[in-house]
Amino acid sequence: MKNQVRVSSTTTPWPLTTTMTPSSATAADEGDLAVGGVRLAEIAATYGTPAYVLDEADVRARARAYRAALPEAEIAYAGKAFLCRAMIGWIQAEGLSLDVCSGGELALARHVGFPAERIVLHGNAKTPRDVQDALAYGVGRVVVDSTYEITQLAVAAHPGRPQKVLIRVTPGVDAHTHAAVATGIEDQKFGFSLSAGAAADAVRQVLHWQLTERPALELAGLHCHLGSQITSVDVFAEAARRLIALMAWIRDEYGVVLPELDLGGGHAVGYCDGDPDFDLEQYARTVRAVIAKACRQHRLPVPRLTVEPGRAIVARAGVTLYRVLTMKRNPGIRTFVAVDGGMSDNPRPALYGSAYTARLIGRATTAASEPMTVVGRHCEAGDVIARDLPLPSDLRPGDLLAVPCTGAYQHSMASTYNQVCRPPVIAVRDGVARVLIRRETLEDLQARDVSL
Protein backbone atom coordinates (compact mmCIF):
# COMPACT_ATOMS: atom_id res chain seq x y z
CA MET A 1 0.00 0.00 0.00
CA LYS A 2 1.56 3.32 -1.00
CA ASN A 3 0.40 6.93 -0.96
CA GLN A 4 -3.20 5.92 -0.29
CA VAL A 5 -3.87 8.35 2.55
CA ARG A 6 -5.62 11.65 1.91
CA VAL A 7 -4.97 13.77 4.98
CA SER A 8 -7.31 16.72 5.41
CA SER A 9 -5.98 20.20 4.77
CA THR A 10 -6.77 21.16 8.36
CA THR A 11 -4.73 18.37 9.88
CA THR A 12 -5.00 18.11 13.67
CA PRO A 13 -3.45 15.77 16.23
CA TRP A 14 -5.29 12.64 17.32
CA PRO A 15 -8.24 13.97 19.32
CA LEU A 16 -7.73 11.68 22.32
CA THR A 17 -4.35 12.85 23.57
CA THR A 18 -1.04 13.14 21.82
CA THR A 19 0.74 11.40 24.72
CA MET A 20 -1.12 8.14 24.08
CA THR A 21 -0.66 7.88 20.35
CA PRO A 22 2.00 7.70 17.66
CA SER A 23 3.56 11.08 17.02
CA SER A 24 2.50 10.91 13.37
CA ALA A 25 -1.22 10.41 14.11
CA THR A 26 -3.38 12.93 12.26
CA ALA A 27 -7.02 13.44 11.40
CA ALA A 28 -8.05 12.52 7.87
CA ASP A 29 -11.20 12.95 5.79
CA GLU A 30 -14.50 11.23 6.61
CA GLY A 31 -13.73 10.84 10.31
CA ASP A 32 -10.70 8.71 9.62
CA LEU A 33 -7.25 8.85 11.17
CA ALA A 34 -3.83 8.37 9.64
CA VAL A 35 -0.67 6.96 11.21
CA GLY A 36 2.63 7.16 9.39
CA GLY A 37 0.78 8.82 6.52
CA VAL A 38 -1.54 5.81 6.00
CA ARG A 39 -5.26 5.89 6.71
CA LEU A 40 -6.30 3.40 9.36
CA ALA A 41 -9.55 2.55 7.57
CA GLU A 42 -7.52 1.74 4.47
CA ILE A 43 -5.33 -0.61 6.50
CA ALA A 44 -8.44 -2.33 7.87
CA ALA A 45 -9.86 -2.72 4.37
CA THR A 46 -6.60 -4.11 2.98
CA TYR A 47 -5.41 -6.35 5.83
CA GLY A 48 -8.59 -7.07 7.77
CA THR A 49 -9.29 -6.78 11.48
CA PRO A 50 -8.21 -7.15 14.18
CA ALA A 51 -4.86 -5.71 13.17
CA TYR A 52 -1.94 -4.17 15.02
CA VAL A 53 -0.54 -1.03 13.37
CA LEU A 54 2.98 0.03 14.32
CA ASP A 55 4.58 3.39 13.50
CA GLU A 56 8.24 2.73 12.67
CA ALA A 57 9.29 6.37 12.86
CA ASP A 58 7.74 6.70 16.32
CA VAL A 59 9.67 3.66 17.60
CA ARG A 60 12.92 5.03 16.23
CA ALA A 61 12.29 8.51 17.65
CA ARG A 62 11.70 7.17 21.15
CA ALA A 63 14.85 5.06 20.93
CA ARG A 64 16.79 8.19 19.97
CA ALA A 65 15.19 10.11 22.85
CA TYR A 66 16.63 7.60 25.34
CA ARG A 67 20.07 7.84 23.79
CA ALA A 68 19.90 11.64 23.88
CA ALA A 69 18.79 11.74 27.52
CA LEU A 70 21.42 9.21 28.64
CA PRO A 71 24.31 9.48 26.15
CA GLU A 72 26.79 7.88 28.55
CA ALA A 73 24.53 4.88 29.27
CA GLU A 74 23.74 1.66 27.45
CA ILE A 75 20.11 1.52 26.35
CA ALA A 76 18.99 -2.11 26.06
CA TYR A 77 15.57 -2.48 24.48
CA ALA A 78 13.48 -5.00 26.46
CA GLY A 79 12.36 -7.34 23.70
CA LYS A 80 9.58 -8.93 25.76
CA ALA A 81 7.44 -5.84 25.06
CA PHE A 82 7.37 -6.59 21.33
CA LEU A 83 9.87 -8.40 19.15
CA CYS A 84 10.18 -9.39 15.53
CA ARG A 85 13.00 -9.32 13.02
CA ALA A 86 12.14 -5.83 11.76
CA MET A 87 11.95 -4.46 15.30
CA ILE A 88 15.40 -5.87 16.06
CA GLY A 89 16.69 -4.17 12.93
CA TRP A 90 15.23 -0.84 13.99
CA ILE A 91 16.77 -0.86 17.44
CA GLN A 92 20.11 -2.06 16.07
CA ALA A 93 20.14 0.80 13.58
CA GLU A 94 19.40 3.26 16.39
CA GLY A 95 22.40 2.02 18.40
CA LEU A 96 20.51 0.21 21.17
CA SER A 97 21.41 -3.06 22.82
CA LEU A 98 18.86 -5.86 23.20
CA ASP A 99 17.48 -7.48 26.35
CA VAL A 100 16.08 -10.97 25.74
CA CYS A 101 14.54 -13.34 28.26
CA SER A 102 14.20 -16.64 26.42
CA GLY A 103 15.86 -18.87 23.89
CA GLY A 104 13.15 -17.90 21.39
CA GLU A 105 13.94 -14.20 21.65
CA LEU A 106 17.64 -14.98 21.41
CA ALA A 107 17.02 -17.08 18.30
CA LEU A 108 15.33 -14.11 16.60
CA ALA A 109 18.36 -11.94 17.40
CA ARG A 110 20.71 -14.58 16.04
CA HIS A 111 18.63 -14.96 12.89
CA VAL A 112 19.17 -11.32 11.93
CA GLY A 113 22.76 -11.22 13.16
CA PHE A 114 22.28 -8.82 16.04
CA PRO A 115 25.71 -8.25 17.66
CA ALA A 116 26.13 -10.81 20.43
CA GLU A 117 28.10 -8.45 22.64
CA ARG A 118 25.08 -6.11 22.75
CA ILE A 119 22.69 -8.80 24.04
CA VAL A 120 21.69 -9.20 27.69
CA LEU A 121 19.98 -12.49 28.59
CA HIS A 122 17.43 -12.43 31.42
CA GLY A 123 15.15 -15.04 32.94
CA ASN A 124 14.47 -16.38 36.43
CA ALA A 125 14.42 -19.99 35.16
CA LYS A 126 16.62 -20.40 32.12
CA THR A 127 16.52 -23.82 30.52
CA PRO A 128 19.73 -25.75 29.79
CA ARG A 129 19.08 -25.02 26.11
CA ASP A 130 18.84 -21.28 26.86
CA VAL A 131 22.22 -21.39 28.59
CA GLN A 132 23.87 -23.42 25.83
CA ASP A 133 22.51 -21.13 23.10
CA ALA A 134 23.67 -18.02 24.96
CA LEU A 135 27.16 -19.39 25.38
CA ALA A 136 27.32 -20.59 21.79
CA TYR A 137 26.37 -17.16 20.46
CA GLY A 138 28.60 -15.34 22.93
CA VAL A 139 26.02 -13.01 24.47
CA GLY A 140 27.51 -9.99 26.18
CA ARG A 141 26.04 -10.63 29.64
CA VAL A 142 23.85 -13.15 31.36
CA VAL A 143 21.77 -11.92 34.30
CA VAL A 144 21.96 -14.72 36.86
CA ASP A 145 18.90 -15.31 39.02
CA SER A 146 19.58 -18.40 41.13
CA THR A 147 22.49 -20.28 42.71
CA TYR A 148 21.73 -23.33 40.57
CA GLU A 149 21.94 -21.16 37.45
CA ILE A 150 25.35 -19.82 38.49
CA THR A 151 26.72 -23.36 38.76
CA GLN A 152 25.00 -24.46 35.56
CA LEU A 153 26.45 -21.52 33.64
CA ALA A 154 29.94 -21.96 35.06
CA VAL A 155 30.06 -25.67 34.25
CA ALA A 156 28.83 -25.09 30.70
CA ALA A 157 31.07 -22.08 29.99
CA HIS A 158 33.90 -22.44 27.50
CA PRO A 159 37.24 -23.05 29.23
CA GLY A 160 39.38 -19.96 29.21
CA ARG A 161 36.54 -17.78 27.92
CA PRO A 162 34.65 -16.60 31.02
CA GLN A 163 31.05 -15.54 30.58
CA LYS A 164 30.25 -12.05 31.85
CA VAL A 165 27.37 -12.06 34.30
CA LEU A 166 25.27 -9.56 36.22
CA ILE A 167 23.72 -10.58 39.54
CA ARG A 168 20.05 -9.70 39.77
CA VAL A 169 19.52 -8.12 43.17
CA THR A 170 16.15 -7.68 44.83
CA PRO A 171 16.81 -4.36 46.59
CA GLY A 172 13.62 -4.22 48.67
CA VAL A 173 12.37 -1.04 46.97
CA ASP A 174 8.60 -0.76 46.53
CA ALA A 175 7.78 0.88 43.20
CA HIS A 176 4.08 1.19 44.15
CA THR A 177 2.81 -0.58 41.05
CA HIS A 178 0.45 -3.51 40.40
CA ALA A 179 1.32 -6.57 42.50
CA ALA A 180 1.65 -8.74 39.39
CA VAL A 181 4.45 -6.55 38.00
CA ALA A 182 6.21 -5.48 41.21
CA THR A 183 9.64 -7.12 41.07
CA GLY A 184 11.85 -5.05 43.37
CA ILE A 185 10.23 -6.14 46.64
CA GLU A 186 10.76 -9.23 48.79
CA ASP A 187 8.75 -12.45 48.47
CA GLN A 188 8.67 -12.80 44.70
CA LYS A 189 10.40 -15.05 42.22
CA PHE A 190 13.04 -12.71 40.80
CA GLY A 191 16.55 -12.00 42.00
CA PHE A 192 18.63 -12.41 45.14
CA SER A 193 17.42 -10.65 48.26
CA LEU A 194 19.70 -7.88 49.46
CA SER A 195 18.34 -7.74 53.01
CA ALA A 196 18.39 -11.52 53.53
CA GLY A 197 22.01 -11.82 52.42
CA ALA A 198 21.23 -13.89 49.31
CA ALA A 199 22.81 -11.28 47.04
CA ALA A 200 26.05 -11.41 49.01
CA ASP A 201 26.02 -15.21 48.79
CA ALA A 202 25.53 -15.01 45.03
CA VAL A 203 28.51 -12.67 44.78
CA ARG A 204 30.65 -15.18 46.67
CA GLN A 205 29.54 -18.00 44.39
CA VAL A 206 30.25 -16.09 41.16
CA LEU A 207 33.63 -14.93 42.41
CA HIS A 208 34.47 -18.53 43.33
CA TRP A 209 34.23 -19.32 39.61
CA GLN A 210 36.03 -16.11 38.67
CA LEU A 211 39.04 -16.04 40.99
CA THR A 212 40.59 -19.28 39.77
CA GLU A 213 43.38 -20.22 37.36
CA ARG A 214 40.79 -20.98 34.66
CA PRO A 215 37.92 -18.58 35.33
CA ALA A 216 34.51 -19.65 34.05
CA LEU A 217 32.57 -16.51 35.00
CA GLU A 218 33.30 -12.81 35.21
CA LEU A 219 31.21 -10.66 37.54
CA ALA A 220 30.62 -7.57 35.41
CA GLY A 221 28.09 -5.82 37.62
CA LEU A 222 24.79 -5.74 39.46
CA HIS A 223 21.28 -5.65 38.10
CA CYS A 224 17.84 -4.86 39.46
CA HIS A 225 14.36 -4.43 38.07
CA LEU A 226 11.73 -2.76 40.22
CA GLY A 227 8.60 -3.52 38.22
CA SER A 228 6.48 -2.04 35.45
CA GLN A 229 4.49 1.13 34.95
CA ILE A 230 6.64 3.06 37.42
CA THR A 231 6.07 6.82 37.52
CA SER A 232 8.38 7.73 40.42
CA VAL A 233 12.00 8.59 39.70
CA ASP A 234 12.86 8.42 43.41
CA VAL A 235 12.51 4.63 43.59
CA PHE A 236 15.22 4.22 40.95
CA ALA A 237 17.44 6.59 42.91
CA GLU A 238 16.99 4.55 46.09
CA ALA A 239 17.72 1.31 44.26
CA ALA A 240 20.91 2.84 42.84
CA ARG A 241 22.07 3.87 46.32
CA ARG A 242 21.55 0.36 47.69
CA LEU A 243 23.30 -1.35 44.79
CA ILE A 244 26.28 0.99 44.91
CA ALA A 245 26.61 0.28 48.64
CA LEU A 246 26.72 -3.42 47.73
CA MET A 247 29.38 -2.65 45.12
CA ALA A 248 31.45 -0.96 47.83
CA TRP A 249 31.12 -4.02 50.04
CA ILE A 250 32.29 -6.25 47.18
CA ARG A 251 35.30 -3.98 46.68
CA ASP A 252 36.15 -4.03 50.38
CA GLU A 253 35.55 -7.77 50.81
CA TYR A 254 37.10 -9.12 47.62
CA GLY A 255 39.08 -6.28 46.06
CA VAL A 256 36.86 -6.45 42.94
CA VAL A 257 35.53 -3.21 41.45
CA LEU A 258 32.46 -3.79 39.30
CA PRO A 259 32.21 -1.72 36.11
CA GLU A 260 28.46 -2.01 35.37
CA LEU A 261 25.16 -1.10 37.02
CA ASP A 262 21.87 -2.07 35.37
CA LEU A 263 18.75 -0.42 36.78
CA GLY A 264 16.30 -2.25 34.54
CA GLY A 265 13.27 -0.59 33.00
CA GLY A 266 9.59 -0.35 33.88
CA HIS A 267 9.16 3.30 32.87
CA ALA A 268 5.46 4.13 32.84
CA VAL A 269 3.35 4.92 29.79
CA GLY A 270 -0.05 6.60 29.97
CA TYR A 271 -2.79 4.49 28.38
CA CYS A 272 -5.72 6.82 28.99
CA ASP A 273 -6.27 10.55 29.16
CA GLY A 274 -4.89 11.89 32.45
CA ASP A 275 -2.69 8.90 33.25
CA PRO A 276 0.64 9.87 34.85
CA ASP A 277 3.61 9.61 32.55
CA PHE A 278 7.31 9.00 33.10
CA ASP A 279 9.66 11.99 33.01
CA LEU A 280 12.72 10.70 31.17
CA GLU A 281 14.68 13.93 31.50
CA GLN A 282 14.12 14.06 35.26
CA TYR A 283 15.07 10.38 35.50
CA ALA A 284 18.32 11.02 33.64
CA ARG A 285 19.23 14.01 35.82
CA THR A 286 18.30 12.35 39.12
CA VAL A 287 19.87 8.95 38.54
CA ARG A 288 23.05 10.43 37.12
CA ALA A 289 23.43 12.73 40.16
CA VAL A 290 22.57 10.02 42.71
CA ILE A 291 25.04 7.54 41.23
CA ALA A 292 27.81 10.12 41.10
CA LYS A 293 27.22 11.17 44.73
CA ALA A 294 27.03 7.60 46.03
CA CYS A 295 30.22 6.67 44.22
CA ARG A 296 32.03 9.66 45.71
CA GLN A 297 30.86 8.68 49.18
CA HIS A 298 32.07 5.10 48.73
CA ARG A 299 35.21 6.09 46.79
CA LEU A 300 34.18 4.06 43.76
CA PRO A 301 34.56 4.85 40.07
CA VAL A 302 31.22 5.58 38.42
CA PRO A 303 29.99 2.36 36.75
CA ARG A 304 28.53 2.30 33.29
CA LEU A 305 24.77 2.56 33.57
CA THR A 306 22.39 0.30 31.62
CA VAL A 307 18.65 0.92 31.39
CA GLU A 308 16.12 -1.43 29.79
CA PRO A 309 13.08 0.40 28.37
CA GLY A 310 10.66 -1.72 26.40
CA ARG A 311 7.11 -0.46 26.77
CA ALA A 312 8.35 3.14 26.84
CA ILE A 313 9.79 2.74 23.34
CA VAL A 314 7.10 0.75 21.56
CA ALA A 315 3.75 1.15 23.37
CA ARG A 316 2.66 4.48 21.90
CA ALA A 317 3.76 3.46 18.42
CA GLY A 318 0.96 0.89 18.27
CA VAL A 319 -2.74 1.16 17.43
CA THR A 320 -5.10 -1.83 17.25
CA LEU A 321 -8.01 -1.85 14.80
CA TYR A 322 -11.24 -3.74 15.50
CA ARG A 323 -14.51 -4.19 13.63
CA VAL A 324 -17.75 -3.90 15.63
CA LEU A 325 -19.67 -7.19 15.42
CA THR A 326 -22.74 -6.49 17.54
CA MET A 327 -24.31 -4.06 20.02
CA LYS A 328 -26.20 -5.08 23.14
CA ARG A 329 -28.14 -2.38 24.98
CA ASN A 330 -29.32 -3.17 28.50
CA PRO A 331 -31.41 -0.09 29.42
CA GLY A 332 -30.41 1.41 32.72
CA ILE A 333 -27.46 -0.98 33.05
CA ARG A 334 -24.89 -0.88 30.26
CA THR A 335 -24.35 -0.84 26.52
CA PHE A 336 -21.92 -3.48 25.26
CA VAL A 337 -20.02 -3.13 22.01
CA ALA A 338 -18.60 -6.49 20.92
CA VAL A 339 -15.67 -6.49 18.49
CA ASP A 340 -13.83 -9.15 16.49
CA GLY A 341 -10.87 -9.37 18.87
CA GLY A 342 -10.39 -9.25 22.61
CA MET A 343 -8.35 -10.97 25.26
CA SER A 344 -6.56 -13.18 22.74
CA ASP A 345 -4.92 -10.12 21.19
CA ASN A 346 -4.81 -7.99 24.35
CA PRO A 347 -4.87 -9.93 27.65
CA ARG A 348 -3.72 -6.99 29.79
CA PRO A 349 -7.19 -5.81 30.95
CA ALA A 350 -7.99 -9.35 32.12
CA LEU A 351 -4.57 -9.88 33.71
CA TYR A 352 -3.94 -6.54 35.37
CA GLY A 353 -7.18 -4.58 35.11
CA SER A 354 -5.44 -2.33 32.60
CA ALA A 355 -7.49 0.53 31.19
CA TYR A 356 -7.66 1.47 27.50
CA THR A 357 -9.61 3.90 25.41
CA ALA A 358 -11.00 3.72 21.88
CA ARG A 359 -12.62 5.86 19.21
CA LEU A 360 -14.67 5.47 16.09
CA ILE A 361 -12.75 5.79 12.82
CA GLY A 362 -13.63 5.58 9.15
CA ARG A 363 -16.84 7.61 9.13
CA ALA A 364 -17.88 11.03 10.35
CA THR A 365 -20.74 11.45 12.80
CA THR A 366 -22.40 14.28 14.70
CA ALA A 367 -24.22 11.95 17.09
CA ALA A 368 -23.96 12.64 20.79
CA SER A 369 -21.79 10.30 22.79
CA GLU A 370 -22.89 7.88 25.46
CA PRO A 371 -20.96 5.51 27.74
CA MET A 372 -20.29 2.11 26.20
CA THR A 373 -18.15 -0.84 27.20
CA VAL A 374 -16.08 -2.45 24.47
CA VAL A 375 -15.84 -6.23 24.91
CA GLY A 376 -14.20 -9.06 23.03
CA ARG A 377 -15.55 -12.16 21.34
CA HIS A 378 -14.21 -14.74 23.79
CA CYS A 379 -16.18 -16.92 26.19
CA GLU A 380 -15.08 -15.07 29.32
CA ALA A 381 -16.95 -12.41 31.29
CA GLY A 382 -13.59 -10.75 31.88
CA ASP A 383 -12.97 -10.29 28.15
CA VAL A 384 -13.31 -6.51 28.32
CA ILE A 385 -11.15 -4.12 26.28
CA ALA A 386 -12.35 -0.79 27.69
CA ARG A 387 -15.11 0.20 30.10
CA ASP A 388 -17.63 3.05 29.95
CA LEU A 389 -16.11 4.97 27.06
CA PRO A 390 -17.87 7.93 25.46
CA LEU A 391 -18.68 6.58 21.99
CA PRO A 392 -21.15 7.89 19.40
CA SER A 393 -24.74 6.87 20.09
CA ASP A 394 -25.15 5.84 16.43
CA LEU A 395 -22.32 3.27 16.64
CA ARG A 396 -23.33 0.16 14.72
CA PRO A 397 -22.07 -3.24 13.55
CA GLY A 398 -19.48 -2.87 10.81
CA ASP A 399 -17.94 0.28 12.32
CA LEU A 400 -14.22 0.47 13.00
CA LEU A 401 -12.70 1.21 16.39
CA ALA A 402 -9.09 2.21 17.01
CA VAL A 403 -7.45 1.49 20.37
CA PRO A 404 -4.23 3.47 20.94
CA CYS A 405 -1.11 2.62 22.93
CA THR A 406 -1.08 -1.06 22.02
CA GLY A 407 2.48 -1.53 20.79
CA ALA A 408 3.68 -3.25 23.96
CA TYR A 409 2.54 -6.53 25.53
CA GLN A 410 -0.31 -7.10 23.10
CA HIS A 411 1.21 -9.11 20.26
CA SER A 412 3.89 -10.55 22.54
CA MET A 413 1.26 -11.88 25.00
CA ALA A 414 -1.35 -12.85 22.42
CA SER A 415 -2.87 -16.32 22.47
CA THR A 416 -5.11 -18.54 20.35
CA TYR A 417 -7.81 -18.88 23.01
CA ASN A 418 -11.04 -20.29 21.54
CA GLN A 419 -8.92 -21.16 18.46
CA VAL A 420 -8.98 -17.50 17.42
CA CYS A 421 -6.10 -16.60 15.14
CA ARG A 422 -3.62 -13.91 16.11
CA PRO A 423 -3.71 -10.61 14.18
CA PRO A 424 -1.04 -9.32 11.81
CA VAL A 425 1.40 -6.55 12.63
CA ILE A 426 1.42 -3.83 9.97
CA ALA A 427 4.24 -1.28 9.98
CA VAL A 428 3.62 2.19 8.59
CA ARG A 429 6.07 4.88 7.58
CA ASP A 430 6.08 7.76 5.07
CA GLY A 431 2.74 6.78 3.54
CA VAL A 432 3.65 3.12 3.07
CA ALA A 433 2.26 0.10 4.94
CA ARG A 434 3.95 -3.30 5.04
CA VAL A 435 3.36 -6.56 6.86
CA LEU A 436 5.86 -7.39 9.60
CA ILE A 437 4.02 -10.44 10.94
CA ARG A 438 1.28 -12.04 8.85
CA ARG A 439 -2.13 -12.94 10.18
CA GLU A 440 -2.31 -16.39 11.69
CA THR A 441 -4.64 -18.79 9.87
CA LEU A 442 -6.81 -21.71 10.89
CA GLU A 443 -4.45 -23.88 8.88
CA ASP A 444 -1.59 -22.70 11.10
CA LEU A 445 -3.50 -23.79 14.19
CA GLN A 446 -4.53 -27.12 12.74
CA ALA A 447 -1.02 -27.92 11.52
CA ARG A 448 0.14 -28.29 15.13
CA ASP A 449 -2.63 -30.74 15.98
CA VAL A 450 -1.21 -34.18 15.15
CA SER A 451 -3.59 -36.16 17.35
CA LEU A 452 -5.26 -38.16 14.56
With H, G, I as helix, E, B as strand and everything else as coil, classify residue 227: strand
The residues, any chain, with a CB within 8 Å of residue 226's CB and separated by 6 or more, are 171, 173, 175, 182, 183, 184, 235, 236, 239, 264, 266
DSSP state of 411: G
Cis ω for the linkage preceding 50 (within 30 of 0):
yes
The pairing of strands 318-330 and 334-339 is: antiparallel
Question: To 5 degrees, how large is the angle CA 348–CA 350–CA 354?
Answer: 50
Q: How would DSSP label each residue in 37-86?
A: TEEHHHHHHHH-SSEEEEEHHHHHHHHHHHHHH-TTSEEEEETTSS--HH
- The secondary structure of residue 274, as a DSSP letter, is T
Q: Mention every residue, 6+ apart, whose C-beta is less than 8 A from residue 71.
A: none
DSSP element (H, E) containing 141: strand 141-144
Q: 422: which DSSP letter?
A: P
The SS3 call for residue 341 is coil
Strand 163-170 versus strand 141-144 pairing type: parallel
Annotate 244-256 with DSSP letters as a single string: HHHHHHHHHHH--
Which candidate in 84, 272, 295, 379 is catalytic? Answer: 379
Active site residue 379: yes
Amino acid letter, residue 424: P
**Torsion (CA) 381, 382, 383, 385 in degrees, nearest 10:** 130
Give catalytic residue positions: 379
